Amino acid sequence: MLNALKKISRRPFVVKAGDRLKIRGLLRSTYRFCFAPQRGRHTISVCGRQARFHVYSNRGVEVLNSLGGEREMIEYLMGKLNPGDCFYDIGAATGLYTVFLAQVVGEKGMGVAFEPELDPYERLRENLKLNHLCNVQPFPVALGEREETATLMVGDVAGAARIVNAGDGNGAPLRVESVKVVQGDRFIESRSLPLPRAVKIDVEGQEYSVLRGLKHTLTQPYCQVVGCEIRPQFLPKSVVPEDVLALLRSMGFSEIRVHSRAGDLHACAEKSPGRFFET
């Protein structure tokens, strides 16, 4: 039943009608309260901090308990931020990283979250509200090298969507959304966003493009840490994982630790201590 409701809710005419009538959030909250485990709310803990998330199924509870395999990266970034800092969460999905990092930087700090897929973006905002976090500014856009409109292939789970070309999918029908891509540096300047001390990137193969679009931002001394997931199977044909790491090094991130996770790579990149900007 849940899968059927999800499919219906993602149909374009339902999305548009729901947005006009302002009822999509109400429908989700009603479903959670009536059918989801624990009345649709689940609490998890990382590094001694607790956060609540809306859930829709027992599977969702299991994913949260395991942190989706992201515990090491979440703990790493939490350990690099201080109260009053700013962080960017690029590819925020429903806010797993955002919620915990926002707690670390506190009321005097700020988080900026980018999530282009419609459903996860709405759930991100709901999870921020659930945790009473007012220090995060979410944007429903993707970051890249240039401004354009792109096709986003919707995944089966939040955070699995990726930008695709017309020939992707081998002829199989795709569930897609049209998303706005903005050039990172230009968008940050136009919105007068603060520079981040730490940046998390999880964009399903668009890592190289995102980094190139943020070159000015990431080379600033204040920006000290990047946590980047690299998906080799989704990178453009002309790009290999070493190109992503070389680009980070060119921006001053001379200390990079990489570990593998189920075929993907997690890169924890820092600037050398002498280049850190202390607040």
CATH code of the domain in which 185 resides: 3.40.50.150
Q: What whole-number distance in Å separates Cα of residue 30 and Cα of residue 24?
A: 10
Span between the terminal Cα atoms of the chain, in Å: 52
Would 264 be classed as within a structural domain? yes
Residues 6+ apart with CB under 8 A from 223: 195, 196, 197, 198, 199, 217, 271
Please state, in angstroms and rounded to a whole number, the distance separating the CA atoms of residues 89 and 84.
16
Most distant CA atoms of the chain, gap in Å: 56
Is 115 contained in some domain?
yes
- In one letter, which amino acid is 256? I
Q: Is 168 domain-assigned?
A: yes
**63 — phi, psi (to 5°)?**
-65, -40
Is 55 among the domain residues? no
| Lowest-pLDDT choice from 163-167, 173-177, 231-235 | 163-167
Report yes or no on 60 lying in a domain: no
Least confident of 55-64, 78-87, 92-101, 181-190: 55-64
Instruction: Give the model's pLDDT for residue 27.
Output: 67
Distance CA(227)–CA(229), nearest Å, equals: 7
- What total of structural domains would you count in the chain? 1
pLDDT, mean of residues 3-29: 53
CA distances from 163 to 91, 147, 199, 273 (A): 12, 14, 20, 36
The answer to whether residue 87 sits within a structural domain is yes
Residue 19 falls inside a structural domain: no
What is the structure's pLDDT at 12?
45
What letter does residue 140 receive in the DSSP assignment? -
Q: Is residue 74 part of a domain?
A: yes
Q: Is the pLDDT of residue 20 over 70?
A: no
Structural domain of 75: 67-275
What's the confidence (pLDDT) of residue 158? 65
Q: Which of 78, 140, 139 is nearest to 106 (CA)?
A: 78
Contact at 8 Å (CB) between 39 and 61? no
Which phi and psi (to 5°) does residue 178 adopt? -90, 125
> Which range among 21-30, 141-150, 201-210 shows the weakest confidence by mean pLDDT?
21-30
26-62 confidence digits (pLDDT tens): 667 666 667 666 778 999 999 999 999 999 888 889 9
Q: How confident is the model at residue 149 (pLDDT cuts 50, 70, 90)?
A: very high
